[in-house]
Amino acid sequence: MKNRLLSILFLFALPAPAPAVDVILTGGCALRSWEQYRGKQLAHDNWWANFVRASTIRMTHIRRQRPDAAITWIVYRPSYQLRGREDGKPYVTWIADLARKYKARLVWVRTKEEAIRALNAAPRGKGDYVSSFYYFGHSNPHAFMLEYSSEILAVSTQYIHETDLETINPAIFRPTSDCRSYGCFTGMSMTGWWKRIVGVPLWGNMKSTYYAPVSEGLLPRGGGRWVK
């Protein structure tokens, strides 16, 4: 009996595990009024919610593994405001509704600086850390393009360049943190910069990523090899 009581007291004396936070960064969609000039074969974002749907699929995966997980969802708002105005739909409201449905803390951002600050602030308590970081959005080998083709055709006005990664606090991650980019071509350069600066691997694809699988409840598919 004495040994059992000591064991119980020892368990109560152990420090509580640091809360883990899962972070999802969602870039904005393009406007059809710009993309129509590319033609049907090259036009981006025929469906406004490609990146949003991929984000909620990721949330579903998290909830299945850890029902009480803390999820921070960072979303580039201006593109969804513009596309909503174009389509006559309340996309911003719908995104907020999805955040409530999946019990995610929604953080709207308008600039790359706000996006990085939101990532750095995701661990809200002492000892908290980012257990996973997933990016869904447009990108090229050197940048997460938070905004793309919603203000100027085929141009990004707000992007996190690989050199901007220096403003991310590496202390919020652990060696086991799962970091992945579902943007096109990030495996060509940005993954290397992420590892050198942030200190943990970032999975990225060497070619384009395709979002058609999200309509079947699957994460996007890479057209090439995944590297980290």
Q: For residue range 71-112, list pLDDT tens digits in order.
A: 999 999 999 999 999 999 999 999 999 999 999 999 999 999
The Cα–Cα gap between 77 and 136 comes to 14
Quick: pLDDT tens for 111-139.
Answer: 999 999 999 999 988 889 999 999 999 99
The Cα–Cα gap between 87 and 175 comes to 43
The Cα–Cα gap between 64 and 58 comes to 10
In this structure, what are the phi and psi dihedrals at residue 38, rounded to the nearest 5 degrees? -80, -25
Contacts of 178 (CB under 8 A, 6+ apart): 131, 132, 133
C-alpha R_g of the chain? 19
Percentage with pLDDT > 90 across the chain: 82
Contacts of 105 (CB under 8 A, 6+ apart): 70, 71, 72, 73, 99
Do 178 and 23 form a contact (C-beta atoms < 8 A)?
no
The pLDDT score that the predictor gives to residue 86 is 97
The Cα–Cα gap between 38 and 29 comes to 15
Do 100 and 51 form a contact (C-beta atoms < 8 A)?
no
Percentage with pLDDT > 70 across the chain: 92
The Cα–Cα gap between 226 and 201 comes to 12
Q: Return the structure tokens found at 195.
A: 């590892």
The pLDDT score that the predictor gives to residue 163 is 97
For the packed helices 91-101 and 50-65, what is the interaxial angle rounded to 10 degrees? 10
Higher pLDDT, 3 or 14: 3
Q: Return the structure tokens found at 210.
A: 């395709």
Question: Percentages helix, strand, coil for the chain, rounded to the nearest 5?
Answer: 40, 25, 35
Quick: pLDDT tens for 179-222.
Answer: 999 999 999 999 999 999 999 999 999 999 999 999 999 999 99
Entry pTM: 0.91
Quick: pLDDT tens for 138-186.
Answer: 999 999 999 999 998 889 999 999 999 999 999 999 999 999 999 999 9
